[in-house]
Amino acid sequence: MSKDQKKYYEAMFLISQAVAADFADAIAHIREILSRAGAEVVAMKKWDDRRLAYEIDKQKRGVYILVYAALPGDGVEKIHHDCNLSEKIMRVMVIKADHLTLEEMQANDDAASLTMEANLRSGPRERDEQAMAGAAAPAADADAETVEDIDDED
């Protein structure tokens, strides 16, 4: 098989709860690893959030991300190499997806749910920042009006 010819693979990434707290960054990191390996992502979804059978890196729980992708011949090796160097990925497993058709892989795509969860997980911080900025703006406007009123009285 030439390196240009791509085959379909199923990859399962395991990330810790701490990394999953910034879910958008974790998904972006996985996409970056896949793109460096020359992967064309067919489908990606959060598979589950589970208690681990044994501790990995002192973590008892983990989030599993399932990815179906077309990879060149050396892509699997590149993914394993990048994941071994990554501090965000606890484990990765990549197998051939010969048992699935392209339509079945595409049916597993849940990118919208990934985006929604990333927004929900990052939402409270952003809402707090917006609320703080919103509260500061009216106070600044009130101070400006007070100064203008004093100037008008003169």
For residue 96, what is the domain's CATH number? Answer: 3.30.70.60
Which residues, listed in sequence order, are joined to residue 49 by a DSSP beta bridge?
63
Residue 103 lies in a domain: yes
pLDDT value of residue 106: 74
Extended strands (E) in 57-84: 59-71
Residue 95 lies in a domain: yes
Which residues, listed in sequence order, are joined to residue 13 by a DSSP beta bridge?
65, 92
Q: Is 69 in contact with 34 (CB distance < 8 Å)?
A: yes
Residue 33 lies in a domain: yes
Q: Which domain holds residue 45?
A: 7-119
Mean pLDDT by 10 residues, the chain (154 residues): 77 94 92 95 91 92 94 93 95 90 74 70 59 52 49 51
Residue 64 lies in a domain: yes
State how far the Cα of 88 lies from the Cα of 40, in Å rounded to an integer: 21
Residue 56 lies in a domain: yes
State how far the Cα of 61 lies from the Cα of 18, in Å rounded to an integer: 10
Place of tokens 């990052």: 122
Residue 44 lies in a domain: yes
pLDDT value of residue 119: 73
pLDDT value of residue 73: 84
State how far the Cα of 141 lies from the Cα of 14, in Å rounded to an integer: 49
SS3 for 96? Answer: strand
Residue 137 lies in a domain: no
State how far the Cα of 17 lies from the Cα of 43, in Å rounded to an integer: 22
- Distances, alpha carbon 151 to alpha carbons 45, 139, 144, 146, in Å: 61, 19, 11, 9
Residue 2 lies in a domain: no
Domain count, the chain: 1
